[in-house]
Amino acid sequence: MTIDRNIVLARLEVVIDSLGLPELDPKAIAEDDERLIDFAIKHGQSLDWLVMGDIRSYILMAAKIR
């Protein structure tokens, strides 16, 4: 499997904008697996979504919050 870094970058840009984190460099994060994992953990994001576009984990989180 090859990771499409451009898609990861686009998703990171959305997350970084939504969380108000303009000081972060989404391109640097998208290009480095360790930074991407650290970002996801620190900011409560799903690697499944960031890398593969799989939103099931977000659907489950939203259901549990209700």
Q: What angle do CA 27, 38, 43 make, to 5 degrees?
A: 90
Domain boundaries, the chain: 5-65
Cα–Cα dist 55/58, whole Å? 5
Q: What is the per-residue pLDDT for 6?
A: 98
The 10s digit of each residue's pLDDT in 7-33 is 999 999 999 999 999 999 999 999 999
Q: What is the per-residue pLDDT for 44?
A: 93
User: Contact, 40 vs 46, CB < 8 A?
Assistant: yes
How many C-beta neighbours within 10 Å does residue 7 have?
14
* Three-state DSSP state, 15: helix
The structure's pTM equals 0.87
